[in-house]
Structure 1
């Protein structure tokens, strides 16, 4: 997949909106896991933190550098109604380099999560209810440091990527979150309402842990992914 790939899904209109959203994030997490193992993605992450003059062992410095780079280099574009595009992290980087960047919140999470994951940070995708109506309608990234920090302690850190003006730890208003972790089996810090920095009394639904793949084979993974059949109504 030298050039990166794009998955195009047209929804079955009979699939409930919330079910679609929960399923979408499972695909996103699989793609984040695929991207964090890609050497091209890792080399880009290293170049980003080096260009920002981040010192070794400065975990928050690395996370901030990756966050700001994604916020300022990716371009947010909405997708057609009823259609979802999923881009690999490598493809998203290629589009940025070519001046043709265009992605929605899913793509921002895929790229940000893959870049941070390639540097060894735990990452996850949160589907959130940002309108307070009980329906999940947005996806955002979450990560954490290994060493306790004064700013975030040992908590998970919200990373809102589609708004360049947002600082690390800031997020859109959230009433409910549904966490999905990349590399879930290796993370020993579950996401709860008390472990997401700055979200206060937000309701956190039960975590759904995706399978963890040991090999990176994006094309085969998508071809066999059960959610693709769900979206297509097969």
Structure 2
């Protein structure tokens, strides 16, 4: 049974300023939900129930998307009130509109390591600041896949709305993300953390003076490796001073991987393979006939479909709605 909610009521302006405030709350609820143990446990339970194999990341995304699509009832907000539920509350209610489904699915995906961003859409090209719908995109192999759980379509489908706006989630470096230095002159051994650091460099945001960059710099200097690459020194200094925006950086990651591998800091098992083209679900693919030479009888192969700190719900009251 759902516990008694702690409802917060806030006034928001009408129009685009109100939309921006609502989107900020959606971002905060996703980031908070991703750190909630209940949300993460729920996501893991779904993967276990559907027998998703470890490291089959596309199947993980598909399983969570389909679970929200099939188990959350689309229900409109209270009349003339914009209601936002936390991911934990959505797991109890099992009902909500597009922003609630976005919060839940985004929280579960980020809780198991899949970065997401928001897409706002509108139907009136004459009003590019007027939006009526929100859904997710998830990063998979350097490409963003659309996830609209409110519609009865496979993942990857998105409406052809004439007005769209991409909203990235703000990324802050939290204390838990930093490397702890034991002692004044301690040199951290980040070699065991290199795979995770490389994964972050591949597509995540870095704020200036990120402690992970400092830890890597200190380790390389301690091992007398830093002076061997002017490019690496310049790159680390630039990231330390300016940070990095959240976007795919496959070439930078590949060059850094090769260098660390040459210095025997990264085993071949941790090397990122060259990203393969994303194979879209069956509903997204257009099959074209190809002329083939007869080689004997061929039986058709059937494609089987593959089948988580709570923030309490925020109620945003829109004047005149």
Q: Same fold (TM over 0.5)?
A: yes
Q: Would you say 1:161 and 2:149 are equivalent positions? A: yes
1:182, distance to aligned residue in structure 2 (A): 2.8
> In structure 2, what is the equivalent of residue 172 of structure 1?
159
Determine the C-alpha separation between the residues in 1 that align with 2:70 and 2:119: 21
- Residue of structure 1 equivalent to 2:63: 65
Q: Shift in Å at residue 117 of structure 1? A: 0.7
Cα distance, 1:133 vs. partner? Answer: 4.3
Name the CA shift for 1:69/1:44 in 2 (closer, same or farther; >3 Å): same
After superposition, give the CA deviation of every residue in 1:148-193 in whole Å (9 maximum; x if it has no partner). Answer: 3xxxxx2211110111x211110122223222223535445449xx
Q: Tell me how far apart the structure 2 counterparts of residues 3 and 160 of structure 1 sit (CA, whole Å).
A: 28
C-alpha contact (below 8 Å) 2:86/2:310 kept by paired residues: no
Please show how residues 111-130 of structure 1 align to structure 2 within 5 Å.
Answer: 111-130=104-123
Task: Name the CA shift for 1:8/1:75 in 2 (closer, same or farther; >3 Å).
Answer: farther
Contact 2:101-2:149 within 8 A present in 1 as well: yes
> Tell me, what secondary structure is at the counterpart of 1:92?
helix
Q: Tell me, in whole angstroms, the C-alpha distance in 2 between the residues paired with 1:70 and 1:119.
A: 15
Match of 1:110 in 2: 103
Please give the root-mean-square deviation of Cα atoms over the aligned residues, in Å.
3.0
Q: In the TM superposition, what is the alpha-carbon distance from 1:49 to its structure 2 partner?
A: 1.2
Q: Does 1:54 align with 2:52?
A: yes
Does residue 142 in structure 1 map to residue 137 in structure 2? yes
Checking the alignment, whether the CA contact within 8 Å between 1:129 and 1:175 is kept in structure 2 is yes
What is the deviation of 1:82?
Answer: 2.7
| Cα distance in structure 2, aligned partners of 1:120 and 1:166 | 24
Per the TM alignment, residue 51 of structure 1 is displaced from its structure 2 partner at its CA by: 1.4
Q: Structure 2 regions of 5+ residues with no counterpart?
A: 173-203, 206-244, 249-277, 281-308
- The number of residues matched between the two structures is 188
Residue 218 (structure 1) aligned with residue 311 (structure 2): yes
**Residues 7, 87 of structure 1: 8 Å contact kept:** no
Q: Report the secondary structure of 2:21's partner residue.
A: helix
Task: Return the alpha-carbon distance in structure 2 between the equivalents of residues 55 and 74 of structure 1.
Answer: 24
C-alpha displacement of 1:109: 0.3
Conserved in 2, the CA contact under 8 Å of 1:127 and 1:179? Answer: yes
2:71 matched to 1:83?
no
Q: 1:217 to 1:126 in 2, by over 3 A?
A: same
Q: Is contact 1:127–1:178 with CA below 8 Å preserved after alignment?
A: yes
* CA distance in 2: counterparts of 1:58 and 1:32, whole angstroms: 23
* Cα distance change, pair 50–115 in 1 and its aligned pair in 2 (3 A): same
Retained in 2: the 8 A contact 1:4–1:91? no
Find the counterpart in structure 2 of residue 45 from structure 1. 43
CA contact (8 A) 2:124 2:163 kept: no
